[in-house]
Chains A and B, each alone.
Chain A
Amino acid sequence: MAESSHAFVRTAILPAQKPPLTEKGVIKWLRENLFSGWFNTILTLIGLWAIYSLIAAALPWWLNGVWNAGSLGECRAILAERAGPDASGACWAMVRDRWHQFMFGFYPQDQYWRPATAFGLLFAAIAPVLFSGQKGFQTCMLAGVAAFLAATFWLAQVPMLAVGLTTILMLVLLTLAQVRPAAVMWFTVIYPALAFFLLWGGSFWVPVAAMTGLLVLLVAYRLLLPRTGVGIAAGAGIGLALLWWAVLDAPVAAGLTWLAPIGLEPVASDRFGGFLLALTIGVTAISFSLPMGILLALGRQSDMVLIKTLSVGFIEFIRGVPLITLLFTASLLLQYFLPPNTNFDLILRVIILVTFFAAAYIAEVIRGGLAALPRGQYEAADALGLDYWSAQRLIIMPQALKIAIPGIVSTFIGLFKDTTLVAFVGLQDPLKGITQIVRADIAWKGIYWEPYIFVGAIFFVICFGMSRYSMYLEQKLKRDHR
């Protein structure tokens, strides 16, 4: 190396030093995320204090929970004996004592297997819709359903015939999911009738005759489609199906019942309650409000003045009034608008009004999706020579619905939460109806945290699950690469 005027030049490279203690690991993370300035430090301290006070208040209460008692007084006695006179503690014995009412309302106790089976099969029915084209997920879900049903049959007294039929059904579905996953969809189509039969009971032939109407619709549509357009085929199909339901449905069902009296013990609607009621209303309204919402959104976008006006009027009216007023309409006003002496089930009336309510909101969400589609997509569909319905089915709706997924799912979540409002027209919803009954009982008078936490937790799990599923769906359907 050349001589230099500098006194010292280092020639060897120093070994790398460790970073300062404050710039690595946990301390760095803490400094950056929790204590990066006086304001953040204060916030962190407030947050820590909030968490501490919450835990300090709730944890002993939670840990002291009593699971075995017959009444609140007994609960408190056990608590005082176990943890001292001033200790606070949850009385989960209430949940243990009354869980069946929260779940099934006043459904006959020996028939609990029916709603439980219907609930399990619900997941088998929605599996092909939720995870279309994904064999793995579908099979997992069906296996889960099978496990749930097995547990139900283990715990409840179930007629052997029902066990056998359900086992065969599940085996068929599991096989189909392996061989032809698309065919599982047929179970989704017949599920409503099956669920109706399981929940309300009565003659087996009533739902069968009702489903035959749907079959009439489908056959007429298929036969007429090549000769006429979609509109006429669908119109004629619906007309024929209505004719079937109006004229032939009841006699056929009665006749078949007379010939072969198969059925389950009928259960009246007023015995429905708890989450059984919430899910019945919620699932039915959700599955009907989506198609209705799509039609309303298309009507609102239509060039036909009359159809547009009617759609806008319907949507804006429904969105402008609270759901409670619609529920009161169902319970008080429908008797004025229907012919004298028609009296149909309150649950059905409520479902119809809730469906209308949700459909108006869904229509607006889908309209947003339609508006977000570039104009070129419509023009491209026209350029391909597609007619209106084909264009909607193949080009417009798949994209518009994809954009609208978050909005649709949050509408569904809102709808499911709103099923609690049916308490105000005298139905036993889990939140107000059943809780009030439990709290009015002399044994559980004065209990308030436990029922609300129990019911709230179940609602949270269902709604949170729905919102997570919508995120998964968004990811799955994402086609742009950003």
Chain B
Amino acid sequence: MAYAGEVPKPRFRPGMLIYDTRYRSLTIQLIVLVLFAFGLSWLINNVIVNLAAKDRTFDFGFLWNRAGYDINQTLIPYTNDSTHGRALFVGLVNTLVVAALGCFLATVLGVIIGVLRLSKNWLIGRLMTVYVEVFRNIPLLLWILLSFVILTETTPSPRDFRVTDEMIAAGQAPAARMFLNDSVAITNRGMNVPAPLFTRSLGTAGIGEFQISLNFLAIFAVIGASAIVNRRMVRRARALQEDTGVRPVTWWKSLLVLFVPVIALMLALGFHLEYPRMTRFNFSGGIEVLHSFTALLIALVLYTAAFIAEIVRAGILAIPRGQTEAAFALGLRPGRTMSLIILPQALRVIIPPLISQYLNLTKNTSLAIAVSYMDLRGTLGGVTLNQTGKELECMLLMMLIYLTISLMIASVMNIYNSSVRLKER
């Protein structure tokens, strides 16, 4: 009598490496490993041979050499005597500024458009559909180029703003006017906006080369502290409401807590705006915002907002109609239904694709090349690469930095995603 347990174990035969699914995966992986190792060593060998043929080395020493070129937008101190490494950081900061501002503005615009597209208003719904379809189906590069061309070629030149004595005598107005109560001037060179200044400045502090303005640090600290106090107050009000059913009036306390300390601090620091003023040939004073920056930002925001609008719309549509009806049955008003019932659920659907839109926007900032905005690709992958001829090092470093930024955004947003995820057993 034969039992199942007595079945003799089949001996291993070489043929089983191909015909037995248990061993076949090993064979395949071995083949792939050999091919991969072969390919990799072939590539590395080619690199070594090519570098030797061009009499070049592979090292990152050039990052500590003098850069010798100017960057037109520097948010951290930089001169052309600084190193290539520092130019890299200037570029990185420029990239991150556009990316952060772009993500924020695109989210605001995208949510508004997505919600409006669902509105019962027929006209607005159609208009928003047209907006989304137009911006989604035309390359981003076109929007960047077009906004840049419009900003640089349709705006007046600085000398059109000049007012001479003869013109005053003749009662002539200058050819161009400034906007917003003479505080913003858009010329074909850039946009001049007022600069925040402090008469009793706290100075700067920093570690080594990196300097941070203490004024702004103090203001941010006060705003943060006010926000925390305000949140405590609201939480206490809510607890009181749940205990007694009566909600204490908090709105004026909130306003007081949120605004008075900041305003007091700014007064103490002597905060004032320095307006751009026309001198002989150009504007001086204030901050000059480059058109390349503005054009890139506008295009990125308009383009990405169309995608975010679709994501928001899909997220809201994904919530079953019954949820709205249940909220109405509980007696909630439409606004509270949206904020308490629909949006918290829709967010779970919205966040994952939103993350990939943020990633796309960040990667798309590299299109700054089209308008010569000095982002990471403009400094490290542009002038530095051309000056030093270190193509391999510059490109690899640049890819690594972009990869790091992408992975960081993805992981931060994934943490947020898991915090709003449905808590299931």
Note whether A and B form a binding pair: yes
Chain A residues close to B by CB (< 8 Å): 32-34, 36, 40, 43-44, 47-48, 50-51, 231-232, 303-307, 310, 316-317, 319-325, 328-329, 332-333, 335-340, 413, 417-418, 420-421, 423-424, 431-432, 435, 446, 448, 452, 455-456, 459-460, 463-464, 467
**Least CB separation from A458: chain B residue:** B138
Chain B residues contacting A51 (CB-CB under 8 Å) are 127
- Measured CB to CB, the nearest residue on chain A to B126 is A47
Q: Contact between A446 and B153 (Cβ–Cβ < 8 Å)?
A: yes
Chain B residues touching A, majority SS: helix
- A246, B140: Cα distance in complex, Å: 40
B370 in contact (CB, < 8 A): yes
**What are the interface flags for B15-58 relative to A under an 8 Å C-beta threshold, 1 for contact and 0 otherwise?**
00010000001001100110010000001001101110100000
Q: Considering the chains assembled together, what is the distance between the CA atoms of A212 and B403 in angstroms? A: 41
Task: Pick the interface stretch among B102-110, B144-152, B212-220.
Answer: B144-152
Give, as a whole number of angstroms, the nearest-CB distance from B334 to chain A.
11
* Contact A463 B395, beta carbon cutoff 8 Å: no
Contact with A along B400-419 (1 / 0, CB 8 A): 00110011000000000000
Contact B141 A431 (CB under 8 A): yes
Shortest distance in angstroms between A24's beta carbon and chain B's nearest beta carbon? 17
B120 within 8 A of A: yes
Distance in Å: Cβ of A277 to nearest Cβ of chain B: 14
Q: Contacts A306-B29, A321-B402, A340-B53: A36 and B146 contacting too (C-beta < 8 A)?
A: no
B153 touches A448 (CB 8 A): yes
B407 near A320: Cβ-Cβ < 8 Å:
yes
Q: Does B364 contact A (CB under 8 A)?
A: yes
Q: Decide if A463 touches B137 in the complex (CB within 8 Å).
A: yes
* Closest chain B CB from A265 CB (angstroms): 32
Contact B399 A431 (CB under 8 A): no
Contact: B399 with A432, CB < 8 Å? Answer: no
A307 to B26 Cα, complex, angstroms: 11
Question: Which residues of chain B from 376 to 393 have a CB within 8 Å of any chain A CB?
Answer: 377, 381, 391-392
Bound CA–CA A106/B44 (angstroms): 38
Given A424-B369, A452-B145, A324 and B377 touching (CB < 8 A)? yes
Q: Say if the beta carbon of B205 comes within 8 Å of chain A.
A: no
Which residues of the other chain, A, contact B150 by a CB distance below 8 angstroms?
Answer: 448
Chain B CB within 10 Å, residue with most, of A34, A50, A305, A325: A325
- Are the C-beta atoms of B50 and A340 separated by less than 8 Å? yes
Chain B count of residues within 8 A CB distance of the other chain? 54
Tell yes or no: B134 within 8 A of A by CB. yes
Beta-carbon contact of A455 and B406 below 8 Å: no
- Check: B398 CB closer than 8 A to any chain A CB: yes
CA distance A337 to B44 in the complex (A): 7
Contact B367 A421 (CB under 8 A): yes
A117 to B36, CA, bound (A): 41
B420, CB-defined interface residue at 8 Å: no
In the bound complex, what is the Cα–Cα distance between A51 and B127 (angstroms)?
A: 9
Residues from chain A with Cβ under 8 Å of B141 in the complex: 420-421, 423, 431-432
| B337-370 interface with A by 8 A CB criterion | 359, 363-364, 366-367, 369-370
Bound: A32/B121 CA distance, A: 8
| Contact yes or no, A47 B123, CB < 8 A | yes
Shortest A229–chain B CB gap in Å is 8
One of B137, B377, B398 near A413 (C-beta < 8 A): B137
A339 touches B46 (CB 8 A): yes
Chain B residues with CB under 8 Å of A320's CB are: 402-403, 406-407
Nearest B residue to A235 by beta-carbon distance?
B31
Shortest distance in angstroms between B245's beta carbon and chain A's nearest beta carbon? 31
8 A Cβ contacts from B117-164 to A: 119-124, 127, 133-134, 136-142, 145-146, 149-150, 153
On chain A, the residues within 8 Å of B33 by CB distance are 306
Minimum CB distance partner of A47 in chain B: B123
| A413-B137, A421-B367 known; A455+B124 contact, CB < 8 A | no
Residue of B nearest to A331 (CB): B391
Once the chains bind, are B121 and A43 in contact (CB under 8 Å)?
yes
Contact A325 B366 (CB under 8 A): yes
Q: List 9 A-B contacts (CB under 8 A).
A: A32-B120, A40-B119, A40-B120, A304-B25, A333-B392, A335-B50, A337-B47, A340-B46, A340-B49
